[in-house]
Each structure stands twice: as structure tokens, then as C-alpha cells.
Amino acid sequence: MSLKFRLNLLITLLSLAFILVVGSILVSDTRTSIRERVEAASRVTVQLLDTVIISSALNPEYGQTDRVLQSFLQSLGYVRSSHIVLYDISGNVLYTSPPSTYKADVQAPKWFEKMVQPPVETVERQIRYGSLVVSSSAAGSIREAWSGFRQLMWVGLFFFVLLNLMVYALLSHSLKPIKPILTSINRMERGDLSTRLPTFTLPEFNRIGHSLNRMAESLAMERQLEENRQLTQLIQTHIEDERRSLARELHDELGQYVTAIKTFAVAIVNKAKDKSPDIAANAQTIVGAANQIYEGMHSIIRQLRPGALDNLGLSETLRDAMQYWQTLHANVRFELKLNGQLDDLGESLNINVYRIVQESINNALKHAQAKSIEVSLTLLENELQLLIKDDGVGMNMASVDQSQHFGLLGIRERVQGFHGSFSLLSEPNRGTAIHINIPRAS
């Protein structure tokens, strides 16, 4: 059932209810009016006839009362709203008043007569040599009332039909924008976010159109953002794969060469230390250089891909990284808090959490001049919470363009890739705190 049909049906029912109420009021008023009219006419008629009866009784020379009354009634003819019957002493009808000829061509329906018909009142007078019976008669008044009521019914029916036609036309015109609105919504539902609604005349539909257009633009931007997030995540995945492959190559290939160089240099030192001290010294220099290359290579491998992440899980990797940073920066206090089962988060989330912690600590060490760095990672029922806080120099957030800080931008993109939230709180000389929440579903 369409909205237009419902509204038109509602207007129709309200119109019918109004007509019925007005009709019932008119019928009630008509019934009261007829009753009062008939009662008044009957009283006047009875009083007139009583006067004739009394006059006849006081003046016997006029003749017998029944004959006087008969002559008077015959000359009187039809009396409005009254039916008069005159009987002689034997009960024979001497006179019956003629029926009403007013609107004789009008025939009121039975239901209308029943609704407006007043109760019949009968007055009987015993006269000399007969009797007189006067009964109220509303036939003429009913026909008159029905004639007017019928005209009102036709007028009401005409305006009822006219009102419904006008309402239907108005609703058809006013609700015309609904079709393009529904069409646009269906197209959006099927994924076509390029659809736009035109400007409508009615302000209500115009606001709906603007709202739908803004929603489509927002959904299109959200889809583009989601595609960018997926592309970023794909790029990061490929980068991590390349880093893993490069770390493996460095460890397997370059590590073997460095180890071989060191082994050969040690053998030269052992053979030449007595016979050729100069050669032994040069060989020892090679051993030292090989050790430095080996340590630098392992540092690079750690930066490229921490081996513990694949073998021991996120918790142990973070502990190992904190110990490594503590070794490199003995004057900085590092604190790590881990809560929950953190080793079942998945490879993608593991490496991203590690990169976020790595980038944040590097920023704190390079730029914040921090003396204390705290990392807290907690797995709750619904989300993963990460807090990285330092006591460094901080920064004025109102004057900092975070889009120009690629480290923070990379952290934000990693978090948004998992549909998480990222917030940065910092004040000058009061440190910086990074709050990250990632939904458990991610």
C-alpha cells in the first residue's frame, strides 16, 4: 500500500466522518424542528376548534355543534401538520381533513422518516351529537425537510468527490519526488555512489535530497579511503615480505661470507703470529672488521625483520627489543607492560604493532630527548589497547601539522588499516602519549 494511497484513504475517511457527523447533526436539528413545528400547529388547531365548539354551544341558534363544526372544517380545508376527523353520534365519519399537497411530488425514504418522525399526538373532544379527533401529522414537514436535506446531500457529495480529486492531484504532485529518491537509494544500495538527486521544490524533499547527496559523497569518500587503506596495507605487506626476504638473504648469504672471512683471518693469525707478526696484525684487523660487519649486519637484520617475531611471538619480541634499546641507551629508563594473550593476534597485526612501537620509540629517542619511555600493551575482550608514553620535551599540538610528520602519519595509517583509533596527546615540557585502540575483530 503506497503512501499516496494511504494519505488519500485517510482524507477520504476523514471527509466521510465529517459528512456523517454533520449529517447526524442536521438530522437531529431537523427532528427537533419538525417536532416543535408539529406540536405548535397542533396546539393552534386544537385551540381554534375549541373556540368553534364553545361558540356553537353558547349560540344554539347556529344549529347542532357537529353540523356547525362540519361546515367550519369544510370551509377551513387542509390544516398544516394536523389530521382532523369528525364523527357523528353513531360513529360515522362526517369529515376528514384532506392530505397535504405541499411538495406532493417529493417522497422521503423510510429511513429518513424513521429518523425525523416525531411521536403522534392525538386530542379527542366530545361534542354534542358527535366527537372530534385531532392527530398530529408531520408528513408535509418531513417532505419539506427531505427536500432540503437531499439538496445538501448532493452538494456534500459534489464537494466530497471534488475534495478527493483535488487531494489526489495534490498528493500526486507533492509526492512525485519520492520515486527518484527511492531510485537513488536503490542505486546506492547496489553500490552506485555516483547518483545524485536534483533540487526539489518542496523544502522537506529538498532537505532529504541534500542529505542523501551528502551521504553518497561521504560513502564514496569512505569507500575511497577504505580502498586506500587496503592499498596501503597491501604495500606494507609487500614491504614486510621484502624486508623478511632481505633479512634472510643478509643472514644466510652475507653472514656466511663474513663468517668465512673471519675464519680465514683467524687461521692466518694463528699461522703467522710467530713467523710474520705484521701479517698476523693485519689479519687480526680483518678479524675485528669482520666482527664489526657481523654486528652491523645483525643490527640491520633486527631493523628489517626481528627474528623473534616469527619464532617466539609478539611478547618476547617486544621484550627483546626493549632490552636491545636499553643496551644502546643506558641513560634512558624503558618500561614494558604486557597484559593478555598477545601471541595469537596474527602475523599482520603482530608486525604492525611492532612497527608502531619501533617508530614511536625511535621518535622519542631522536626528537623528544626522553629520559623515561613506557610501553603498555593490553588485550581486552573487545579491543587491543596500546599506550606509548615518554617524559620528553613534548610539543604544542595546536601548531603541529601531523600530516608533515611521516612517522606519525605512518602510525596513523597502520592503525586505520585495522579500523582502529589513534590519538596523540602532548604538551611542551610534559611529554607525549600515544593512545591506540584496535577492535578485537580486526
pLDDT digits (tens, 9 = 90+) for 22-59: 888 888 888 888 888 888 888 888 888 888 888 888 88
Name residues whose C-beta falls within 8 Å of residue 332's C-beta, 6 or more positions apart in sequence.
325, 326, 365, 370, 371, 372, 373
Dihedral, CA atoms, 416, 322, 334, 434, nearest 10 degrees? 0
In angstroms, the CA 12 to CA 35 distance is 34
Query: Is 81:141 a contact under the CB 8 Å cutoff?
Result: yes
Identify which has the larger pLDDT, 334 or 59.
Answer: 334
pLDDT band, very low/low/confident/very high, at 268 (cuts 50, 70, 90): confident
The per-residue pLDDT for range 270-329, each reduced to its tens digit, is 877 777 777 878 888 888 888 888 777 767 766 766 766 767 788 888 888 888 888 888
Q: How confident is the model at residue 240 (pLDDT cuts 50, 70, 90)?
A: low
Taking residue 216's Cβ as centre, other Cβ atoms within 10 Å add up to 20
| Measured distance CA(441)–CA(420) in Å, rounded | 10
330 CB-contact burial (10 Å; exposed 0-12 / middle 13-18 / buried 19+) = exposed
| pLDDT confidence of residue 375 | 93
Rg of the chain over CA atoms, in angstroms? Answer: 55
CA distance 140 to 137: 8
Extended strands (E) in 318-431: 333-339, 372-379, 383-390, 421-426
Higher pLDDT, 220 or 327: 327
User: Is 80 exceeded by the pLDDT of residue 377?
Assistant: yes
State residue 442's pLDDT score. 62
Distances (CA, A) of 6 to 1, 12, 15, 246, 248: 7, 10, 14, 71, 73
Taking the C-alpha atoms of residue 73 and residue 302, their distance in angstroms, rounded to an integer, is 134
Q: Are 395 and 428 in contact (CB under 8 A)?
A: yes
Q: State pLDDT tens for residues 128-180.
A: 778 889 988 888 888 888 888 888 888 888 988 898 888 888 888 777 887 88
Residue 124 above 70 pLDDT? Answer: yes
For the chain, domain boundaries: 3-173, 190-239, 310-442
pLDDT band at residue 374 using 50, 70 and 90 as cut-offs: very high
Residue 431, phi-psi category: left (phi > 0), alpha (psi -120 to 50), beta (remainder) = left
Report how far residue 124's alpha carbon sits from residue 107's, in angstroms, rounded to the nearest whole number: 30
Note whether 68 and 53 are within 8 A (CB): no
Q: Using the 8-state DSSP alphabet, how is residue 379 labeled?
A: E
- Long-range contacts, 216-223 (Cβ 8 Å, 24+): 216/184, 216/188, 219/188, 219/193, 220/193, 220/194, 223/193
Question: Parallel, antiparallel, or unpaired for β 122-127 and 93-96?
Answer: unpaired
Residues 320 and 326: their CA atoms lie apart, in Å, by: 10
Count of residues making up the chain? 442
Close Cβ partners of 18 (under 8 Å, ≥ 6 residues apart): none
How far is residue 206 CA from its own chain's centroid? 17
Which residue, 37, 34, 39, 40, is CA-closest to 115? 34
Q: Which residues pair with 335 in a beta bridge?
A: 374
Class of 310-442 per CATH?
Answer: alpha beta
Q: Give the 3-state secondary structure of residue 373.
A: strand
**Phi and psi dihedrals of 440, rounded to 5?**
-65, -30
CB 357 within 8 A of CB 387: no
Give 167's contacts (C-beta < 8 A, 6+ positions apart): 7, 8, 11
